[in-house]
Chains A and B, each alone.
Chain A
Amino acid sequence: NAGVMQNPRHLVRRRGQEARLRCSPMKGHSHVYWYRQLPEEGLKFMVYLQKENIIDESGMPKERFSAEFPKEGPSILRIQQVVRGDSAAYFCASSPGRVTYNEQFFGPGTRLTVL
């Protein structure tokens, strides 16, 4: 009964490169959330997706960041032209998405370091 899976666990990029972070939700979960945790700061919401739909992207920076959750395959968080300020831990969470609210289950995170 696998939990939320994220890969890679660690990612190093040079300024200006692209970073792709992957998230596979728990089996049976159709809702995916991405959060960012900066050093010495709390977790901040970025985006909420259902299959093939972005439901809420109010926490996403307007430029360079995008997310998708295709019909098949994992959810992808893409950061183009990375800058040092993008260095952080990025967590994905999933929930079943039933009508009544459900708790979110988190993956182990991807730690992005921008050189």
Chain B
Amino acid sequence: EDQVTQSPEALRLQEGESSSLNCSYTVSGLRGLFWYRQDPGKGPEFLFTLYSAGEEKEKERLKATLTKKESFLHITAPKPEDSATYLCAVVTTSGTYKYIFGTGTRLKVLA
């Protein structure tokens, strides 16, 4: 069964304290991996798409990387406004283009 696991479930960082969030996946075949940010009471906001192992994408303080088994979302020198839940989703080669989501990492950045 296709599965996506995110860790840690929750993370508290001091402002400026860099860290990484993990998304590991077990799927029949990977079509794409997606990172989203979700603020309380809002819909997920798209961040990155990764398609193949070795691929990297960057945006401001965020950098996403992909291997054959997992993806990392690196947060460099985070600010309080980076506080949110970060979601990872995959689309597999079996079936249609539906997302399979992990349960997310709740990030809190303290000033």
Contact = CB atoms under 8 A, between A and B. Distances in A.
A102 B82 CA distance: 25
Nearest to A109: B43
29 contacts: A4-B43, A33-B97, A35-B99, A41-B103, A42-B87, A42-B102, A42-B104, A43-B44, A43-B87, A43-B89, A43-B101, A44-B101, A48-B96, A55-B96, A56-B95, A56-B96, A56-B98, A59-B98, A91-B43, A91-B44, A93-B99, A101-B31, A101-B32, A101-B97, A103-B49, A104-B34, A106-B43, A106-B44, A108-B42
B100 interface: yes
A48 B97 contact: yes
Bin chain A's interface residue count.
Answer: 20 to 34
Interface in B1-59: 31-32, 34, 36, 42-46, 49
Interface string A72-115: 00000000000000000001010100000101111111000000
Given A55-B96, A101-B31, A101-B32, A42 B45 contact: no
